[in-house]
Amino acid sequence: MQQNQVKKGTKEMEFFTEYGDANRYRILEVIGKGSYGVVCAAIDTHTGEKVAIKKINDVFEHISDALRILREVKLLRLLRHPDIVEIKSIMLPPSKREFKDIYVVFELMESDLHQVIKANDDLTREHHQFFLYQMLRALKFMHTANVYHRDLKPKNILANANCKLKVCDFGLARVAFNDTPTTVFWTDYVATRWYRAPELCGSFFSKVGVTVDFFYAF
């Protein structure tokens, strides 16, 4: 066991705290950073599969952040679809007392739609049609389950080299618990400003429906 820990090296020691499943993953590189924490590409040594591990630091420091993470995990466990990013596992803390950081293991995607659009001037009409088809398919599935994403934007749509897209980041999503076409959301933040639907502009609280997500997609 000691030999195995030495082989893990500094990347794993810097990224992981004392989590039991840490020895299962070999860190490759950091692929994203934000106010929430850091995302690393890694290899699952049990399966040989490449994964993305999202580390959220001090998850209980701010209750709003903790609720966003809980909401995202709960929704992604239920929303299984080819066009929605998949949670592989959640690493359990060594004990309740030491539960401070959280590690969520996702399938690995190479980039996001923002980077794809920024780096490619030669995207064809067929590319655009395929992108839109995948986004609309994901939205149809979510809305059938009465789930509203509410923050669709290029950075929240992951991409691979084969033009495969997957919707991610469900931290602002909400569930409508009835069959009415619109529902009132009780948060003052809905969507990044530049991708906000017209009915949300200038209003903190609005009745919104599926049209809000469709506005982001188009």
Catalytic site residue 151?
Answer: yes
Kindly state the average pLDDT of the residues 191-206. 55
CATH of the domain at 117: 1.10.510.10
Best-predicted range by mean pLDDT (3-7, 11-15, 28-32):
28-32
Q: Is 55 annotated as a binding residue?
A: yes
pLDDT band at 3 (very low <50, low <70, confident <90, very high): very low
Report pLDDT digits (tens) over 92-105: 887 888 788 889 99
Kindly state the average pLDDT of the residues 170-184. 69
The pLDDT value recorded for residue 58 is 87
> Considering its fold, how many domains does the chain have in total?
2
122: containing domain: 111-217
At 165 the three-state DSSP class reads strand
- Report angle CA 175, 57, 19 to the nearest 5 degrees: 100
- What is this structure's pTM? 0.79
Q: What percent of the chain is modeled with pLDDT above 70?
A: 72
- Alpha helix (H) ranges present in the chain? 2-15, 63-78, 113-119, 125-144, 210-217
Round to whole Å and give the CA distance between 85 and 181. Answer: 26
- Alpha helix (H) ranges present in 16-124? 63-78, 113-119
CATH of the domain at 39: 3.30.200.20
Q: In 3D, which of 208, 28, 34 has the Cα closest to residue 108? A: 28
The residue out of 58, 74, 107 marking a domain boundary is: 107
Q: In 3D, which of 168, 177, 165, 156 has the Cα closest to residue 79? A: 168
Report pLDDT digits (tens) over 124-165: 999 999 999 999 999 999 999 989 888 888 889 999 999 999
Domain match, 84 and 173 both: no
Q: Cα 26 to the chain's mean position, in Å? A: 21
Round to whole Å and give the CA distance between 182 and 164. Answer: 31
At 207 the three-state DSSP class reads strand
Considering 151, 169, 179, 188, which one is annotated as catalytic? 151
